[in-house]
Amino acid sequence: MNLSFFDQFASPYFLGIPLILLSMLFPALLFPTPNNRWITNRLSTIQLWSLHSITKQLMTPLNKKGHKWALILTSLTTLLLTINLLGLLPYTFTPTTQLSMNMALAFPLWLATLLTGLRNQPSISLGHLLPEGTPTPLIPALIMIETTSLLIRPLALGVRLTANLTAGHLLIQLISTAITALLPIMPTVSILTTSILFLLTILEVAVAMIQAYVFVLLLSLYLQENI
């Protein structure tokens, strides 16, 4: 029983070939491609408005140097948001519940922001490791603490996204299993539990959207420190 709850997080295979790459690329097929009715099409208008809002929200705290990252950050937000929401559909696989994938997204981007700071303003970037006015005896300890907090940033990004989505999916499956088991025994309790499941599903939709935004927002804040 316990193993079956985690079967939904196992990467699907077909003829020995992992399909996680296909599940990551499939959301891109849902977005319309430009055509002669690109401006007047309602779906395209909503898409352009959403991308504009996301880009504006992410780029507002950054200066002009950080605007070069607009395409990367907006594309990442759209990818994570689409994958997270599609993962709430029945009989689907959510790649963002895999820590390996989230780390593969978090580590290179975090490293890029760090290297950008070290290249453009090395003294300021290294100065973040030692707050101004620190007593001399505390300097070695603070440098170690700040270095550790800097190095665990990509791990925190990946674990946060993985844990929130995994917990939500597990809770939905547990409540669904309870509803199925209670239906022939206590129909009234089962109906009440169904209403709880409905509210939980709405909450998970919000969590899927918020976690995608938080992941990219933290990356933009790391970028802001280094430009």
Q: pTM surpassing 0.85?
A: no
pLDDT digits (tens, 9 = 90+) for 98-133: 888 899 999 999 999 999 888 888 787 777 777 777
What pLDDT, on the 0 to 100 scale, is given for residue 1? 45
* Nearest in space to 207 (alpha carbons), one of 163, 177, 145: 163
**Cα–chain center distance at 62:** 20
Mean pLDDT of 91-95: 81
pLDDT given for residue 208 in this prediction: 92
Q: Which two tokens stand for residue 120?
A: 């453009």
pLDDT at residue 209 greater than cutoff 60: yes
Q: Where are any strands of DSSP class E within the chain? A: 13-14, 17-18
Place 5 in a pLDDT band, splitting at 50, 70 and 90.
low
Count of residues in the chain = 227
φ, ψ at 91 (rounded to 5°) = 60, 35
Model confidence at 155, in pLDDT bands (50, 70, 90)?
A: very high
Q: Contact, 110 vs 218, CB < 8 A?
A: no
Q: Which amino acid is at 13?
A: Y
Residue pair 51/198 in contact (Cβ under 8 Å)? The answer is no
d(CA 125, CA 145): 15
